[in-house]
A and B are shown apart, each in its own frame.
Chain A
Amino acid sequence: MKRLRLLFLLPTAGILLLLFAVPLCILLVYACMTRGAYGGTMPPFTGENWLRVLDPLYLGIVGRSFLVAGVSTLICVILGFPLALFISRSGTRKNLYLSLVMLPFWTSFLVRTYAWMFLLRDTGLINTTLQAMGVIHEPLPLLYNWWAVILGLVYGYLPFMVLPLFSTLERLDPSLLEAAADLGARPSQGMLRVMLPLSAPGIRAGAILVFIPCLGAYLTPDLLGGGRTILIGTLIQNQFSNSRDWPFGSAISLALMALVMLLLWIQVRRKGEPLL
């Protein structure tokens, strides 16, 4: 009984150890070393890379990443709430409507990002259509800016907001809203003062699930933001490619990882249930 269970756990434990824990430990060692003359890592061991993370230049990038992830999360709440509410009230069609949210999400992140490039670029569909109609004469600069990045992130992670929101809204007792109405609340009041507070756990779970991937996003800022929008993900990637500063790159990676773990820990502790 016990032996079989251990045997079943062994492969996963081995892979987690070899391909998850050990690599992070290697990053930890790298983060305490010095950059070699031609890149790579060398002794002596130093704490300098960790201090460099706190440099105003990099703190600015971290701050901007928080801002972009925060705005994206907020827009996801604004768009996700009505959608989740609609699905939770759609009766027998629930599963169909949920699948319609998830379907684009699972079918290729890269393609979905490319689709927005196709729409937004100077010679993209929106600009060429507007020019053909004579509305504008010069193409609008829609791509390669912060708003394009935020649009891509919202588009990419909206389902992460809809799913947890839907599951809290589904459990919400409709008689509470009726009671509020009976007691004289206008629909907007019932919404703001009854429904919103009761769906807070769903919003919180969704916010964490959207915020975390947005914070570490690499592909979206790279493709939709061009070279002009540096976020934490881009910063890490640059350290390992262009700058060849592995120790510093490792330090930022681990700092990001620690941040993610902190956010997750707060969420798990509040909800009191495991993620899996």
Chain B
Amino acid sequence: MLPLAATAIYAFLHLPLLVLAVFSVNSSRFTLWEGFSLRWYRAAFEDQQLIEATANSLLIAAVATAAAAVIGTLCAHALWKKDAPIITMSLSLSLVTPEIVAGISLLALFQWIFRFLNIHLGLHTVILAHVSFCISFVVIVVLARLRTFDNSLEEAAVDLGATEWQAFCHVTLPNLMPAIVSAALLAFTISFDDYVITSMVAGVDSETLPMVLYAIARRGANPVVNAISTIIVLALGAMILASERLKES
């Protein structure tokens, strides 16, 4: 009885994406099966707007992830030594803040600052927003790893004459690397997928892949979206599996 129910729920979780993948290689424009074809993949790779949006998304995710990984790791290390209640609380709060509220408050901030500085919305505002929501994920993953790490290793290094900084760089950091990469992969997938916050703080020239997909999805069925969706799921899925592996190792 229980395995049966579990199988049904797993089917519920995975079938919709599987169906999407199957129909991405359907030669028909409509939702009836007419035979295998890669035409929608070709159409996706020839679409200039899609390519530009993907490039934007990759750039944003890469920069935001790198920044969040560095900043979040430092923060996790400091929190591991001693809790800083205000920072911990703010990080948890930013984690549960509804996306729409986060997006709108950031938009308000940027508009307000830019009134004084004469800067416009663009890739840089999107990157800033992404850094802010990626940090929490990095801190969670890295802190979890640090809690299983033996503090005496760092102390031993200091006793042997290393400075605090040297002990961090040469002892703790190498041990943390798998967790940091795992956290970075996670942050990358979150950044790459974000629509709500991004669409609020993006300028006219900084359209991202989720924004393009959203626009097409609203207009109606388009098999090209099936093709792109399948690529996204496969790529992000591979990253998540790699992240899980690293976290366990």
Chain A interface residues (CB < 8 Å from chain B)? 1, 4-9, 11-13, 15-16, 18-24, 26-27, 30, 79, 82-83, 85-87, 89, 95, 99-104, 106-119, 121, 123-125, 128-129, 132, 155, 158, 212-213, 215-219, 223, 233, 236-237, 240, 246, 249-250, 253, 256-257, 260-261, 264, 274-276
Contact = CB atoms under 8 A, between A and B. Distances in A.
Interface stretch (B5-13, B40-48, B174-182): B5-13
Nearest to A209: B96
B183 to A, nearest CB: 13
Contacts of A249: 104
A234 B32 CA distance: 34
Contacts of A129: 31
A131 B131 CA distance: 48
A117 B220 CA distance: 9
Nearest to A234: B100
Interface string B171-192: 0000000000000001001100
Interface string B50-84: 00000000000000000000111011011101101
12 contacts: A6-B78, A20-B132, A24-B105, A26-B108, A107-B189, A110-B193, A213-B98, A219-B214, A246-B108, A253-B100, A264-B93, A276-B91
Contact of A85 (B2, B12, B107, B240): B2
B139 A276 contact: yes
Contact of A115 (B17, B106, B131): B17
Contacts of B31: 118, 123-125, 128-129
A104 B106 contact: no
A132 B32 contact: yes
B237 interface: yes
Given A11-B74, A19-B132, 17 more contacts: A12-B135, A16-B91, A18-B109, A23-B108, A23-B109, A26-B105, A26-B108, A83-B9, A106-B237, A107-B232, A112-B17, A124-B221, A155-B16, A212-B98, A219-B195, A240-B200, A256-B98
A124 B19 CA distance: 11
Contacts of B156: none
Contacts of A117: 217, 221
B236 interface: yes
Nearest to B213: A110
A22 to B, nearest CB: 6
B126 interface: no
A249 B140 CA distance: 31
B95 interface: yes
Nearest to A83: B9
Nearest to A158: B13
B36 interface: no
A1 B154 CA distance: 12
B229 interface: yes
Contacts of B225: 114
A181 B44 CA distance: 59
Contact of A119 (B19, B72, B236): B19
A9 B5 contact: no
Interface in B88-113: 88, 90-101, 104-109, 112
B17 A123 contact: no
A83 B132 CA distance: 33
Given A12-B135, A82-B2, A86-B5, A118 B96 contact: no
Given A5-B82, A119-B16, A216 B233 contact: no
B98 A112 contact: no
Contacts of B94: 16, 20
Contact of B104 (A27, A107, A118, A132): A27
Given A4-B164, A106-B240, A108-B229, A236 B101 contact: yes
B90 A21 contact: yes
Nearest to B86: A13
B246 interface: no
A128 B92 contact: no
Nearest to B109: A23
A106 B243 CA distance: 11
A155 B12 contact: yes
Contact of B229 (A27, A115, A155, A274): A115
Interface in B190-205: 190, 193, 195-196, 200
B6 A253 contact: no
Contacts of A109: 193, 195
Contact of B128 (A19, A22, A212): A19
